């Protein structure tokens, strides 16, 4: 029997979590169906777009992600401080991007006056919405439901698209976080769907590389800000070049349980992509 989610996700233990959601029967519902010959590769972009869209609504930061043909990975950070700093207006506006809300919240959004009792009731409901907006289970629910409904409508069918429960793994320190991020970003290479990180479509590593080539960091992903210092900007305390080298080095290691690896004859990633280490 699976454990209740509240026993697996605890802010007191860690704000970092690795989540995985799989298609039913491990079917390639986001790839090419060998039985029917139909191609559903476009759904990978739908999942990626929805994932990044929801990250802008929830108080959750995305460290890494990889969308595969029959599952996806995402590494998340619960940003409780951000959620607690939201005003009532911000909570209502964010929740309305997900659901209709309540009659009181709809009137509040239209700037209609509420009496003291109505405002007190709205604040009570908004407190619950604030909790949900930093809840990984609600994030995964909103992501998976929207994709499943879209796919079922396209296929003219009903039933489950995803396995009922997503899997979550707590990451207890920054070393575990870095290793897990590299593992997630290397998924297409290990599955022999890509040869290098820069050609790994629908992954966070590709998005970070594209931004780094322009001397930037991707706005949709939690930034890598370098070694600890004062004042310390918001972000992970290691450098982007170090993370890219970690992924490149790890991907060259052959593993008996994986099909793919980065060719050892390739130049190092910073050299072949001509990325300035200062970026």
Sign of the CA dihedral running 145, 147, 150, 154: negative
Low-confidence ranges of the chain (pLDDT < 70): 1-8, 35, 227-230, 232-233, 276-279
Residue 110 CA to residue 93 CA, distance in Å, equals: 11
Residue 221 CA to residue 60 CA, distance in Å, equals: 10
Please answer whether residues 30 and 202 qualify as being in contact, where contact means their C-beta atoms are separated by less than 8 angstroms. Answer: no
- In this prediction the pTM is 0.90
Residue 102 CA to residue 87 CA, distance in Å, equals: 17
Instruction: Give the per-residue pLDDT at 1.
Output: 45
Count the alpha carbons within 13 Å of 180 in the hemisphere toward its beta carbon. 24
Domain 13-86+133-171 CATH superfamily: Transposase IS200-like (3.30.70.1290)
Instruction: Give the per-residue pLDDT at 227.
Output: 67
Instruction: Give the per-residue pLDDT at 259.
Output: 84
**143, two tokens:** 């992501």
Instruction: Give the per-residue pLDDT at 279.
Output: 53
Specify the 3-state DSSP secondary structure of 65: strand
Q: What are the boundaries of each domain within the chain? A: 13-86+133-171, 87-132, 173-279
Please answer whether residues 147 and 26 qualify as being in contact, where contact means their C-beta atoms are separated by less than 8 angstroms. Answer: no
Residue 191 CA to residue 73 CA, distance in Å, equals: 14
Classify residue 132 by burial, with Cβ atoms within 10 Å: 0-12, 13-18, 19+: buried
Residue 226 CA to residue 206 CA, distance in Å, equals: 19
**213, two tokens:** 């080539």
């Amino acid at each position: 029997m699976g454990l209740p989610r509240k026993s697996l996700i605890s802010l007191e233990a860690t704000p970092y979590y690795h989540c995985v959601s799989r298609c039913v029967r491990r079917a390639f519902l986001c790839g090419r169906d060998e039985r029917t010959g139909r191609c559903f590769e476009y759904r990978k972009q739908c999942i990626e777009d929805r994932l990044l869209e929801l990250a802008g609504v929830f108080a959750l930061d995305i460290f890494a992600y990889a969308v595969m043909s029959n599952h996806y990975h995402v590494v998340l950070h619960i940003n409780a401080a951000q959620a607690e700093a939201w005003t009532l207006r911000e909570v209502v506006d964010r929740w309305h991007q997900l659901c209709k809300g309540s009659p009181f919240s709809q009137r509040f959004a239209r700037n209609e006056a509420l009496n003291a009792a109505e405002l007190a009731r709205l604040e009570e409901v908004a407190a619950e919405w604030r909790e949900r907006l930093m809840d990984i289970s609600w994030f995964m629910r909103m992501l998976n439901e929207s994709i499943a409904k879209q796919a079922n409508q396209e296929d003219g069918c009903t039933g489950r698209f995803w396995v009922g429960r997503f899997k979550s793994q707590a990451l207890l320190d920054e070393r575990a976080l870095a290793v897990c991020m590299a593992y997630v970003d290397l998924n297409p290479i290990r599955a022999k769907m890509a040869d290098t990180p820069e050609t790994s479509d629908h992954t966070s590593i590709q998005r970070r590389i594209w931004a780094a080539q322009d001397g930037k960091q991707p706005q949709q992903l939690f930034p890598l800000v370098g070694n600890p210092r004062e004042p310390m900007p918001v972000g992970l305390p290691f450098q982007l070049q170090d993370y890219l080298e970690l992924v490149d080095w790890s991907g060259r290691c052959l593993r008996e349980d994986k099909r793919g690896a980065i060719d050892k004859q390739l130049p190092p990633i910073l050299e072949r992509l001509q990325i300035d280490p200062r970026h």
